[in-house]
Amino acid sequence: MHDLAVSIDGSIAKVENSLQRLCRGITRGTSKIREYTAKLISEHIEKIRIQLVNKLHALVRYLLKLYINSRCIHYFKTIMSIAKPLLDYAKSLKPQKGFTQSFSAFKRLMQYHRRYYWFIVAIVILALIRSILFAVEPLYTTLIINNVIGENKTNLLWSYLLVIILAGIGYAISNFILIFVHGVMSQYIVRDIRTEYYRSLQSKSFSFYDSVGVGDLTSRATVDLQLVDQFLRTWLGTILNAVFTTIVIIVIIYPISLIMTLISMATMPLIFYFTTRLWLDTMPLFRNMQLIIGRLSSYIQQNIVGMKTVRIFRREKDLVEGFKQVEQIYVNTAITAGKIQSIYMPLGPAILTLGIALVYVYAGYSISIPGSTLTIGAIILFARYMLRLTFPIRDLSQTLGTWITAYAGLERILQMEDAPRTVEDLPDAKDIKIEKGKLELENVTFGYVKDRPVLNNVTFTVQPGEKIAVLGATGSGKSSLIYLIPRFYDAQAGSIRIDGTDIRQFKLASLRQQIGVVLQDVFLFSGTIKENIAFGKPDASIDEIVQAAKAAKIHDFIEPLPRGYDTLVGERGVTLSGGQKQRITIARALVTNPRILIMDDSLSFVDAKTEQEIQSAIEEATRTRTTLIIAQRFSTIKTADKILVLENGSIAEFGTHDELIAKNGIYKKVYETQFVQKASTILEETGDA
């Protein structure tokens, strides 16, 4: 039993040992599995981390790209928003063949020449003399070769040389006089064109200036007219020189050799053809260049006038970029025109050189024939004359080039002169004196654009001496209404009568002379205070000027100035404050002693004290005048005999202050919200004090 027990214990011990080894093996295996699993997880996490980092970097790059693109797009849109109208206009220009229009413009230009026909006669005579003298030197050089050198008649040399010298001196003198006379005539013609252009601008309707830029109009009177001046200085003399020189040369060389004469002249049609092609192909391009320059001048003028706004909003770079985009279109057009010129302009001299070569070939062949009468001097004469023909042909080509650019400028000037006037005197219009100043509007409809009326069926009557305050929201048609009375614009329907007479029966000068207008947009000319006040009445005495200034409450400001009424106001009145400029414009309207006075919110730039002073002065000045005042302040409205309320271009209310309050309409609401509340606030502040 004992041995059995020992054996069992030994077996159990072995089993325990085996189990212990198994457990240790399992533990070691579990540890290795854990390490391996951890390693796998760590490697997977690292891969995921790397992928996430790469994706994050890609996302950042994408977002950064989107940001940069959005900024570029915004910047481009910003530039485009400023220069887009001009850029669109420049891109829309297409070359147009305009031979008929060019010929029509040339005929218009000739009408200015008719006034100076004596100059034309002198130029014709001088050009003929110059061409004859121009042909003398080659002819006498040939005589020297044939007679003096060929036949050894040396006694003739000095007489030939004297003729050549005298011809050279005569050519120089006649050429000088011709250029001088031509220049004088061109200046007179340019003066006439500029004067008529400026006169036409003075007679244009207000609607014309609503659609044309100031810079564009200025460019036409300066840049475009300079191009016309360049053409006028030389064109007639150049054409006459080419014609007369060709005729004189043909007359001289024809008796020498008919065939050589024909060879010499055979190249002329080709030269004429290529010169004409140059003209037809480049003229539309130069026209477009001038159109772009005109709009570009308007763009520059607008930006200069608004420079303060540009600086405030830091848009200098944007404006420059917009300018560069438009300028690039101009440059591309000029390069295209230059390419065409580089093709055609050298062809004339090249073809003429070919003609000279053909003359030499034929002459060489002819002179080799026994019994030929052709001399070396004659061959040289032909060659010299053909060379001399290159000068008038070259000048003719240049003149044609100057006409191409001059036509582009002249067309733009004539376009403005021919622009129709929407407001002008009727054939039966008369000078009519306004006696009482009764104003009647009946079913008046008006719009700046057709089918988009600003005023609809406006009807009301203003009795002589009445003061009407015109009230309404922005865009209700207040300013448009008062613009119709002096016929700045004409109504599309209805009628406006003064003292029972339709205002279209008045001559414009007569009507506007008797209507005083003070606009909200204050404008003073670059002159003295006295000249600005007397602008509507240049013959006004100093007493009348002072009286008007006192009425406008500006005299006390002017009097202490070192130069008084002779003080310069600067461009657009830059040396004066807004209120001072406003009062000068009021004085300017009063000095004409108008029967009807119109004031477009004329108290908008004055302080409360000045407003009170001007109100008392205007009250006295308007006592015997029919007056319409666009009003935003109660101080103006309360002194009016009647109040006209406009809403969306129609009369909403019309009557006295009490009548409109009783109607409980628009005026009462405006009065209570703007005037009563303001008065209550002032009273409360006074009470608190």
Burial class (CB in 10 A: 0-12, 13-18, 19+), 86: buried
Q: φ, ψ for residue 368 (rounded to 5)?
A: -80, -15
- pLDDT at 74 (0 to 100): 40
Phi-psi region of 625 (alpha: psi -120 to 50; beta: other; left: phi over 0): beta
Q: How far apart are CA 59 and CA 51, in angstroms?
A: 12
Q: How far apart are CA 324 and CA 430, in angstroms?
A: 53
- pLDDT at 604 (0 to 100): 59
- pLDDT at 303 (0 to 100): 73
List of residues 6+ apart from 654 with CB closer than 8 A:
460, 642, 643, 644, 645
Q: Find the Cα–Cα–Cα–Cα dihedral 279, 282, 288, 294, rounded to 10°.
A: -70
Q: What is the CATH number of domain 99-417?
A: 1.20.1560.10
Burial class (CB in 10 A: 0-12, 13-18, 19+), 238: buried
Domain ranges of the chain: 1-76, 99-417, 435-514+594-657, 522-593
Whether 99-417 and 435-514+594-657 share one fold: the answer is no
Q: How far apart are CA 199 and CA 156, in angstroms?
A: 64
- pLDDT at 162 (0 to 100): 93
Helices (H), 93-156: 99-113, 117-134, 136-143
Q: Which two tokens stand for residue 349?
A: 């001299």
Residue type, 186: S
Give the closest residue to 333 by CA, choosing from 301, 299, 291.
291
Burial class (CB in 10 A: 0-12, 13-18, 19+), 189: buried
- pLDDT at 76 (0 to 100): 38
Q: Which two tokens stand for residue 42?
A: 């760590």
Residue 75 vs residues 81, 313, 549: alpha-carbon distances, Å: 10, 14, 51
CATH superfamily of 435-514+594-657: P-loop containing nucleotide triphosphate hydrolases (3.40.50.300)
What residues pair up with 441 in beta bridges, in sequence order?
460, 496
**pLDDT tens digits for range 428-444:** 888 888 888 899 999 99
Q: Which two tokens stand for residue 33?
A: 């599995």
Neighbours of 194 (CB within 10 A): 16
Q: How many H-runs (helices) and E-runs (strands) does the chain carry?
A: 26, 10
b/e per residue, 155-186, with b = 16+ CB within 10 A? eeeeebeeebeebeebbeebbebbeebbeebb
Report strand pairing: 467-472 vs 626-630: parallel
- pLDDT at 395 (0 to 100): 79
Which residues of the chain register pLDDT less than 70? 1-101, 294, 298, 301, 305, 308, 313, 371, 571-574, 602-611, 613-614, 616-618, 620-621, 635, 674-689
- pLDDT at 124 (0 to 100): 94
CATH superfamily of 522-593: P-loop containing nucleotide triphosphate hydrolases (3.40.50.300)
Q: How far apart are CA 185 and CA 191, in angstroms?
A: 10
